[in-house]
Amino acid sequence: MAVQHVLTSPQFTIENLPPMPLPAAALMCPPDWFDVVDVKNPYMVGQQGHVDVALARRQWADVKSAFELAGVEVRTDNPVPGCEDMVFCANPIFTGLDRVGQRLCLLSHMRYASRQREVEAHGNWFRANGYKVVSLQAPELFEGEGDALWHPGRRLIWGGYGFRSSRDVYESVGEVFDAPVLTLELQTEQFYHLDTCLCLVDEQTALVYPGALTGEGMDLIRRMFLNVIEADEPEALSMACNAASFFGRFVVIQRGSGRVSRELSDLGFEVIEVETSEFMKSGGSVFCMKMYLF
């Protein structure tokens, strides 16, 4: 009998799920070719030709330094000419471990043709660095770690769908990693990837913008996390939820997320603020600019 990986009403608790190591490293891709060329999300409207390239490079370097300050080993991939969005390396791939500890890299099925060249380019890096690289056999859309998030420290995947990834694809994603998947429907185009409205901070803590998800999705998050920090709309539109968490201790977040940052600090997390304004013109921030490495 086939295993059903996508669950609609999970009966387990987080404590009963098998453990999974937290990532200790991250992949980044320098913004050598970064630009806003066309419109793929609402943030990009009117931004063509308005990227300050020199400032983008400084901001990227500051994000890299913030990760390193948190104790993260940062490795880099080579940017490909003409791949203006390759700096957002969370999207073309999804990485993790299978049940026996083998490192896997699952290649995405990107919605937009202008991003499809990134997939194989990143895949080549992972082949060269000891990962088993897997291609989806299903035709459905899937945009990697933009929509698929590991529950910190546990063998559970959260999968967003509605704009860039299809709900049906998560049966294949679950099969590849042999892990259960809980899906969340995205309902507003400003939050087109799950990582724009949900940050899984640690095993018991989530940062979320409720307006981006259905009521059923929010009920599921509140059930599965002890601590739920809810960003308001201005904070969410300023990419507060597109933060990156490391070691269950550090949170690197877009500068200006004042209330959210205070709530994280009150829970004992060390918050490191960075500026990503040039990348926000393309609809991305901190989390989009890295891929967790296992």
Q: Catalytic residue positions?
A: 193, 288
Beta-carbon contacts of 180 under 8 Å, excluding residues fewer than 6 positions away, are 5, 6, 7, 10, 12, 17, 155, 156, 157, 174
Q: Which helix (H) or strand (E) holds 227?
A: strand 227-230
Angle at 250 between CA 147 and CA 74, to 5 degrees: 70
Strand partners, 28: 76
Token couple for 261? 């940052």
- Exposed (0-12), middle (13-18) or buried (19+): which is 215, by Cβ within 10 Å? exposed
Half-sphere exposure of 262 (CA within 13 A, CB side): 4
Q: Please provide residue 282's backbone torsions phi and psi, each rounded to the nearest 5 degrees.
A: -105, 5
Q: Is the dihedral of CA 102, 8, 191, 112 positive or negative?
A: positive
Would you say 159 and 165 are in contact if contact means Cβ atoms under 8 Å apart? Answer: yes
Which amino acid type is present at position 291? M
Would you say 259 and 21 are in contact if contact means Cβ atoms under 8 Å apart? Answer: no
Question: Residue 264: which of 210, 200, 196 has the closest Cα?
Answer: 200
Angle at 48 between CA 164 and CA 50, to 5 degrees: 125
Which CA distances in Å does 26 have to 54, 75, 89, 176, 239? 23, 6, 10, 21, 20
